[in-house]
Amino acid sequence: KTRDGFHLIPNHPITYDIDLTQKQGFKDITLRISTSDRCARIAFNRPNVLHAFRPNTINEFRKALEIATDDVLVSVILFASELVEDRTPSFCAGGDQVVRSSGGGYDDGTEDVPRLRVLDLQVQMRRCPKPIIAVVRGYAIGGGHILHMMCDLTIAGDDAVFGQTGPRMGSFDAGYGSVHMARLVGQKKAREMWFTCNFYNADDAVKMGLINAAYPKEELEGEVARWVRRISYNSPTAIACTKAALNADEDGQAGIALMGGHLTRLFYMSEEGREGRQSYLERRAPEFHKLPSSR
């Protein structure tokens, strides 16, 4: 450990001591927590289809994200994928085209109506106060590419491949998948990615600002650990408020409401906030004038 408290030792990957996958009955994902590194890892686990997602995958992901968000021992959340021997590495190959329905969404028989559940996950990620880091090995394609863009940071192995395929296979995301991409890489590059459906390697992605860093795949887990330790050493409230501010720029009224929620939570902890509640409970007029004015 260094003087300011975080490990700089390379190749010292995170060890996970709690595995909630079975307890939660997850079939399409895994969920593990490291109490020593204050980190949760949610990983796609459908290697036979390059971790393409079906509605059940997304519903499990949403549940896992809720668990990680509410866990007071977790400071940083990783979105990753399980690596399986003899299978091509992949982060996520987007929506599972086998269960894409002509009824206006994806239908794997687990819900009454076909839905685009991944859009709900995107919003949940924006509202999550904790930093979410995408750890990308192999393909991040289509809706899988959008999910990495929705993460606060993306760290990739040198085998990563990024791209959209929608206009080639009859799909598009006219929400965050387009607008947020343009904020990340600029209008010209975003139009290039969507209109051509070209794929980009990890170096290209770093250069265009699509991801934060790329490492040789053998070193990725150790480097991810260093990012996690560096971030989880810092103030969670400062990070949550900064994330909300950076998102509010794009999220309009919903973004401002989230910022406002953080403010109210902090205000509740102030002398002024406490005096308001106390005076009500004691059936007396509030004595805000006796407190130092913060204006």
Residues interacting with ligand S0N, by CB under 6 A?
49-50, 52, 88, 93-98, 116, 118-119, 139, 141-143, 146, 165-166, 169, 171, 173, 177
Residue 241: CB atoms within 10 Å: 18
- Asked whether the CA dihedral 39, 40, 45, 49 is positive or negative, the reply is negative
* Distance of closest approach, residue 177 Cβ to ligand S0N, in angstroms: 5
* Distance of closest approach, residue 174 Cβ to ligand S0N, in angstroms: 7
141, containing H or E segment: strand 139-141
Residue 153 near residue 248, CB atoms below 8 Å: no
Among residues 53 and 227, whose Cβ is nearest to ligand S0N? Answer: 53
Among residues 48 and 253, whose Cβ is nearest to ligand S0N? Answer: 48
Q: Helices 236-268 and 271-281 meet at what angle, rounded to 10?
A: 30
Q: Find, among 148, 152, 178, the residue nearest to 161 by Cα.
A: 148
* Distance of closest approach, residue 85 Cβ to ligand S0N, in angstroms: 15
Among residues 1 and 27, whose Cβ is nearest to ligand S0N? Answer: 27
Q: Provide the token pair at 197.
A: 């459906």
* Distance of closest approach, residue 54 Cβ to ligand S0N, in angstroms: 9
* Beta-ladder partners of 78: 41, 133
Among residues 115 and 130, whose Cβ is nearest to ligand S0N? Answer: 115
Residue 194 near residue 240, CB atoms below 8 Å: no
Among residues 37 and 152, whose Cβ is nearest to ligand S0N? Answer: 152
* Distance of closest approach, residue 139 Cβ to ligand S0N, in angstroms: 4
Among residues 5 and 175, whose Cβ is nearest to ligand S0N? Answer: 175
Q: Find, among 212, 236, 237, the residue nearest to 226 by Cα.
A: 212
CA angle 177/181/185 to nearest 5° reads 165
* Distance of closest approach, residue 159 Cβ to ligand S0N, in angstroms: 11
Tell me how far apart the alpha carbons of residues 98 and 240 are, in angstroms, rounded to a whole number. Answer: 38
